[in-house]
Structure 1
Amino acid sequence: MDKAQLDQLLAQQHNNQQEIVDVDEPVIKLVIFSLVEHHFAVLGSSIKEVLQGNETVFFVPGMPTSVEGVINIRGDIESVITL
């Protein structure tokens, strides 16, 4: 595809675009991820940070099975949950 064809396609795309209308609708931010071919979404407001997974997790006795343990993130102790 040469530059003239690309310019023509971009001009057509620009002409086909509809006007964007601002609508006052509530916005919900989600963190979407997949585990073993299943998709999940969690409210973004309940997520503090997503980590790479190479941090050391420390076991805490007596915690529910959904709590993997705790980690040290820049001096703050944070809970790690199991999904």
Structure 2
Amino acid sequence: MSKLQELFKKYGKIGIGVHLSIYAATLAERDVQADANPEERSWLAKALTSSGSSFAVAFLCTKALLPVRVPLTIGITPVVAR
């Protein structure tokens, strides 16, 4: 995390913009197409495909990807800054 803070000090708004762009890209979710007959789905399938739970799962996955996002931000920011 200290490298990320140093990156933000050096590149400022560009570093923050790159990090937020990567964050938004990992958080973006794709809607699941509805089944032909949604009444036949189980209660668990209905709960997991509702819009609120889809966002919650996407948010948790995004948080879990922090160890991937930070090195990616550190590697991409100098290239974007040029």
Structure having the higher Rg? 1
After TM superposition, is the score higher than 0.5? no
The normalised TM-score by structure 1 is 0.24
Answer 1 or 2: which has greater helix percent. Answer: 2
The normalised TM-score by structure 2 is 0.24
Answer 1 or 2: which has greater strand percent. Answer: 1
